């Protein structure tokens, strides 16, 4: 159930055959909320049930294993969300038919994993999102982004116990992007995502 909604109706149909899968979904929400403020109490935020939505989407996933050591996985999500009713206070007017905020229409991800001699693992990932709207007016919006990551791991056996040493990186292209948006009456609607990140660590199996 979406935050601020009091009821939902959902229908889901799926068909899965390894290594391929697909699922469609249909969801309706009622009384989604919006935040607003009034001049008499400018430092307080109030909530109002502003509208209803209908949301349908499609999720797909494909996995390809050309050799026992090589695996390629790809996934795609299509989202068609719309307000069926919107009676706002902070955003007045008929906004029916507009897309709810923070709902990219297209999302895709791919991962390639190569394992060498059951000890070394190299993995590369790509994640892509299309643009998303900031509020129900669909006037302000943020760009989509594409993030690239890598991971290198080495498996070892120490005194009969399995351990893994790894190093991984995310957003290696150091892309500037907005990770999350929200229609905030304070105007703080944009939350930037992290820049290039590199991690390292050791995992033990007991």
Query: What is the 3-state secondary structure of 181-201?
Result: ECCCCCCCCEEECCCCEEEEE
- Cα separation, 13 vs 87, whole angstroms: 32
pLDDT (0 to 100) of residue 19: 61
- Cα separation, 199 vs 6, whole angstroms: 41
Domain range enclosing 54: 7-204
Q: Is residue 2 part of a domain?
A: no
The pTM (predicted TM-score) of the whole model is 0.81
CATH of the domain at 95: 2.40.170.20
pLDDT (0 to 100) of residue 206: 73
Q: Is residue 148 part of a domain?
A: yes
Q: List the one residue out of 173, 128, 171, 169 whose CA is nearest residue 146.
A: 128
Q: Is residue 193 part of a domain?
A: yes
pLDDT (0 to 100) of residue 35: 86
Total residues belonging to the chain:
206
Structurally, how many domains does the chain consist of?
1
pLDDT (0 to 100) of residue 121: 96
Q: Is residue 1 part of a domain?
A: no
Q: Is residue 152 part of a domain?
A: yes
Which regions in the chain score pLDDT beneath 70?
1-19, 187-188
Q: Is residue 67 part of a domain?
A: yes
- Cα separation, 33 vs 12, whole angstroms: 25
Q: Is residue 182 part of a domain?
A: yes
Q: What is the pLDDT of residues 7-25, one digit of tens each?
A: 444 444 433 335 678 999 9
């Amino acid at each position: 159930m979406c935050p601020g909604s009091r009821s939902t109706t959902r229908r889901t149909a799926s068909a899965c055959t390894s290594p391929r899968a697909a699922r469609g979904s249909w969801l309706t929400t009622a009384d989604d909320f919006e935040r607003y403020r009034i001049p008499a109490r400018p430092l307080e935020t109030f909530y109002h049930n502003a509208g209803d939505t209908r949301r349908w989407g499609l999720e797909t996933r494909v996995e390809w294993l050309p050799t026992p050591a090589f695996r390629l996985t790809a996934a795609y999500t299509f989202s068609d969300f719309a307000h069926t009713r919107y009676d706002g206070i902070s955003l007045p007017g008929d906004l029916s038919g507009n897309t709810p905020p923070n709902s990219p229409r297209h999302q895709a991800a791919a991962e390639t994993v190569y394992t060498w001699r059951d000890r070394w693992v190299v993995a590369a990932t790509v994640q892509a999102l299309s643009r998303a709207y900031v509020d129900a007016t669909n006037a302000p919006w943020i760009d989509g982004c594409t993030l690239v990551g890598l991971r290198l791991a080495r498996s070892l056996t120490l005194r009969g116990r399995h351990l893994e040493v790894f190093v991984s990186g995310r957003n290696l292209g150091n892309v500037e992007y907005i990770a999350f948006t929200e229609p905030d009456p304070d105007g703080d609607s944009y939350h930037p995502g992290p820049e290039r990140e590199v991690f390292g660590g050791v995992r033990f199996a007991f």
